[in-house]
């Protein structure tokens, strides 16, 4: 197994080096940066497995960095750290793509446990080939077979894949289905498309253990399983 790459973005002159040394001693390949510009430069040269971001950074803040990386590299796990432990800030962090939100101060062993959980899930996923959704509105299955999707099905599935395993609210899906004038369709339009997607998965022998679209009544939908967005 390759040595895991962790990139820290923390401008605190004490905490940054402390975490760097702690994680390096655990055997991770760790690089410390102090701002988004340094982070982007490092990540253009290596493929990080995990980003550890301070929320309040000079220049571009952690949540905005998380939003960029979650959109472009959804396979990268993101941990957000912040002295702001308010519910609003935590929700914002999760909505921007953070997998874990650690309120400061925290013990380094809490970060160690969080990383252990992340890499345990990654190891399970990496033992299997993922289903991929392409820019050409297709699903590529494990055996190489292609399943055609229409534009709306592809848009919905792509958004849920980028967000997984988090919930995508119904209003967000309705916005994807809006017409050229911005008028939203009825909620039943989302229900029909989700039903159609589930049927396509079933018709192509994609069982629920491999890929599942889950509904939260009155709230929205989430996707679970081995699916990624093909770059």
Are 104 and 201 in the same domain?
no
Are 34 and 144 in the same domain?
no
Contacts of the segment 168-173: beta carbons below 8 A, 24+ positions apart: 168/220, 168/221, 168/222, 169/219, 169/220, 170/218, 170/219, 170/220, 170/221, 172/220, 173/220, 173/221
Q: Which of 126, 148, 181 is the last residue before a domain boundary?
A: 126
H or E segment and range at residue 56: none
The span from the CA of 49 to the CA of 4, in Å, is: 6
Alpha helices in 96-134 (DSSP H): 108-126
Q: How many domains does the chain have?
A: 2
Q: Which of 96, 126, 156 is the last residue before a domain boundary?
A: 126
Are 160 and 205 in the same domain?
yes
Domain that holds residue 145: 131-229
Are 45 and 108 in the same domain?
yes
Are 121 and 9 in the same domain?
yes
Per-residue pLDDT of the chain in tens (231 residues, 90 and over written 9): 457 899 999 999 999 999 999 999 999 999 999 999 999 999 888 888 899 999 999 999 999 999 998 887 787 899 999 999 899 999 999 999 999 999 999 999 999 999 988 887 655 444 445 688 888 888 888 667 788 999 999 999 989 888 887 889 999 999 988 888 888 999 999 999 999 999 988 888 887 767 889 998 889 999 887 788 876
The span from the CA of 22 to the CA of 37, in Å, is: 24
């Amino acid at each position: 197994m390759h040595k895991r790459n962790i990139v820290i973005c923390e401008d605190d002159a004490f905490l940054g080096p402390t975490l760097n040394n702690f994680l390096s001693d655990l055997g991770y390949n760790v690089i410390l940066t102090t701002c988004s510009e340094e982070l982007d430069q490092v990540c253009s040269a290596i493929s990080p497995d995990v980003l550890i971001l301070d929320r309040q950074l000079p220049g571009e803040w952690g949540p905005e960095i998380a939003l960029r990386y979650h959109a472009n590299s959804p396979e990268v796990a993101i941990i957000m750290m912040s002295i702001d432990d308010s519910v609003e800030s935590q929700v914002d962090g999760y909505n921007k793509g953070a997998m874990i939100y650690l309120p400061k101060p925290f013990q380094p062993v809490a970060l160690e446990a969080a990383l252990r959980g992340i890499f345990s899930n990654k190891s399970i996923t990496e033992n299997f080939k993922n289903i991929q959704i392409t820019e050409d509105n297709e699903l590529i299955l494990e055996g190489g077979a292609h399943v055609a999707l229409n534009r709306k099905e592809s848009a919905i599935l792509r958004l849920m894949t980028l967000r997984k395993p988090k919930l995508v609210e119904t209003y967000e899906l309705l916005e994807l289905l809006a017409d050229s004038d911005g008028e939203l369709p009825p909620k039943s339009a989302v229900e029909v498309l989700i039903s159609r997607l589930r049927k396509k998965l079933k018709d192509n022998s994609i069982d629920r253990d491999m890929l599942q679209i889950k509904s939260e009544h009155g709230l929205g939908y989430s996707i679970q399983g081995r699916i990624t967005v093909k770059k």
